[in-house]
Amino acid sequence: MPELPEVETVVRYLRPRLQGRMLQTVRVSRHRLRQPWRRAWNPAVAGRRIVQLDRRGKWILAKLEPAGTLILHLGMTGRLDVVRADRPMLPHTHVSFGLDTGTEELRFHDPRRFGSIVYSPCDPEAALGEVTDPLGPEPWDLTAQTFHEACRATRRAIKAVLLDQTVLAGVGNIYADESLFEARLHPARCARDLTQAEAARLQRAVVRVLDRAIAQHGSTILTFHYGDGGRGGYQNEFQVYQRTGEPCRRCGAPVVAIRLAGRTTHFCPHCQPATC
DNA sequence: ATAGGCGCCTGCTGGC
DNA sequence: TGCCAGCAGGCGCCTA
């Protein structure tokens, strides 16, 4: 579910509620999350304090004291919330941390269990390296030249490159489609055929789309929520995503959906021509 | 070596 | 009205 803007929204919500607080207790459901085989869940997290909460791509990093890091990923349907401890436990709540006062809990809820929570004794940067391939830069830090070089180095479609977290971190299916529309590039264009100017245009489009989405607290389609009922608003500004058959907001031509890189891909065949 | 497909899960929806 | 196939914002692994 959540891509960079949704994860950023969750982190901004959680940061003031978690930074400085002690994880007193840990309760784990018997269901496995995405990556427990990489590193067994370590209840030794109890007694450690969250001193810093950050986002990197779609990953959430909680730096602990005196040492260690919790690395969290929301997968498709993951949700993190700080709630009063006497609130009833929702079904599919897989991890629950008692917070220092004992009156509140941090709960991880994830029906599809594609999300993960992993503990590492290392600092955040090294901990992230243990659970995923090296992430590319945040989209704001990606230079047009680096992006163009990454495009020239592959025969994949440009959309597949946008989804590749080792090229740039944080873009998923929604924002790939929206960014390609913004840049007026066909998603199936061979990445190595992009000119330097087109690569630069696309990088700027990604940043513009993500900035607007973050300002709207992300997109809520079915399940994305943050805090107590908070919902994103960017779904109301989608240009192509999930608008198959509806008129393009720019030219009126019907939006088309194809299958690309294993994902449903939406674009306007008029505004995003297949050729240069 | 690269790139595409599948598997992992549950829940919702649209078409019959 | 009800059922069920298909699809959904994720990523890692396997294979061709």
CB A215, CB A2: distance < 8 Å: no
Å from the A242 CA to the B14 C1': 15
Å from the A32 CA to the B12 C1': 23
β-strand A48-56 against A22-28: which pairing, if any? Answer: antiparallel
pTM of the model: 0.95
Residues 206-225 of A with CB under 7 A from strand B: 222
Å from the A231 CA to the C2 C1': 32
Separation in Å, CA A72 to CA A100, A147, A270: 20, 27, 40
CB A211, CB A5: distance < 8 Å: no
Separation in Å, CA A243 to CA A235, A237, A266: 11, 11, 7
pLDDT at A40: 56
State phi, psi for A274 to the nearest 5 degrees: -70, -25
- A261 sits within 7 Å of strand B by its CB: yes
The gap between the terminal CA atoms of chain A, to the nearest Å, is 32
CB A123, CB A63: distance < 8 Å: yes
Å from the A200 CA to the C8 C1': 31
pLDDT at A227: 82
CB A246, CB A256: distance < 8 Å: no
pLDDT at A37: 46
Q: Which residue has the tokens 């959309």?
A: A159
pLDDT at A276: 46
pLDDT at A1: 60
pLDDT at A225: 76
The Cα A189–Cα A228 span in angstroms is: 42
pLDDT at A29: 85
pLDDT at A13: 95
CB A122, CB A71: distance < 8 Å: no
Which residue has its C-alpha nearest to nucleotide C9's C1'? A1
DSSP structural state of residue A38: T
- A113 sits within 7 Å of strand B by its CB: yes
* Residues of A with a known catalytic role: 2-3, 58, 263
The Cα A204–Cα A114 span in angstroms is: 30
3-state helix, strand, coil in chain A (%, to 5): 30, 25, 45
The Cα A75–Cα A202 span in angstroms is: 25
Q: What SS3 class is residue A214?
A: helix
Nucleotide nearest to A91 (CA to C1'): B10
CB A88, CB A96: distance < 8 Å: no
pLDDT in tens, chain A (276 residues): 699 999 999 999 999 999 999 999 999 887 878 764 455 567 789 999 999 999 999 999 999 999 999 999 999 999 999 999 999 999 999 999 999 988 999 999 999 999 999 899 999 999 999 889 999 999 999 999 999 999 999 999 999 999 999 999 999 999 999 999 999 999 999 999 999 999 999 999 999 999 999 999 999 887 777 887 788 899 999 999 999 999 999 999 999 999 998 899 999 999 999 864
